Amino acid sequence: MFDALKGFGVTFGTMFKKVVTEEYPEVKKIPAERYHGRHQLNRHPDGLEKCVGCELCAWACPADAIYVEGGDNTEKARFSPGERYGAIYQINYLRCIGCGLCVEACPTRSLTMTTEYELADDNRQDLIYTKEQLMAPLLSGMEQPPHPMRLGDNEQDYYVKGPELAVSMESAPFADSMETAPLKEQGK
């Protein structure tokens, strides 16, 4: 009899403690800033893609989750500065283990990770994210490729003047967080 009361004591006591229940999905938890969430393919400030289709991310991937095929930029259809762009880009989130080696491998800092963690679905096909799903959204001042290079004459300008461009864009609303901001803040 005394034991039963003791049990209720725990129940009542809990009522005065801090609630540990997550109100997910009504209230979404903001993960840590460096959380390894869904990937994002970033853009240069004029909207051209940073991805050059080099496949180094696919090479680095220990889970073989990434598939890339390069393409040839032409004068008529330019997707990135320079000769080459990523024509096909797929990440299979059934395979991805979120290790981030792909991000380290990326030579142009095209591939980064967002903090978006809602990567569940009820079928396999939809978990293979394509380039359209992974591309960073167009911020103000950006233009949907294909279009000519706006920030220089060749790809060197984009990389050599990269820091400068970033500084000059400092005042722009997107400049601080083009590569790392959670999608919500980028206007998704």
Look at the chain and count its residues.
188
Cα dist from 12 to 6, 41, 135, whole Å = 10, 51, 51
CA distances from 73 to 24, 58, 113 (A): 44, 21, 26
- Segment contacting other proteins (CB under 8 A): 17-25, 70-78, 127-135, 164-172? 70-78
Restricting to residues 108-147, name those near other proteins by CB under 8 A.
108
Residue 184 tokens read as 């919500």
Q: Is 84 in the site for other proteins (CB under 8 A)?
A: yes
Instruction: Based on DSSP, count helices (H) and strands (E) in the chain, helices before strands.
Output: 6, 5
CB of 173 to other proteins, least distance (A): 30
Site for other proteins in 38-57 (CB under 8 A): 52-56
Among 31, 70, 152, 162, binds other proteins (CB under 8 A): 70
CB nearer to other proteins: pick between 69 and 176:
69
User: 139, 187 in Cβ contact below 8 A?
Assistant: yes
Residue 157: strand, helix, or coil: helix
- Build a one-symbol-per-residue string for 154-183: x at contacts with other proteins by CB under 8 A, - elsewhere: ------------------------------
H/E run at residue 103: helix 101-105
The H or E element spanning position 6 is: helix 2-15
Give the whole-angstrom CA distance, residue 65 versus residue 164: 34
| Segment interacting with other proteins (CB under 8 A) among 25-33, 78-86, 125-133, 141-149 | 78-86
Q: Which of 69, 104, 118, 185 binds other proteins (CB under 8 A)?
A: 69
Answer for which of 9, 107, 148, 187 binds other proteins (CB under 8 A) is: 107
Cβ(160)–Cβ(82) under 8 Å?
Answer: no
With CB under 8 A as the contact rule, the residue among 22, 30, 34, 59 that binds other proteins is: 59
Binding footprint of other proteins on the chain (CB under 8 A): 52-56, 58-59, 67, 69-72, 82-84, 87, 107-108
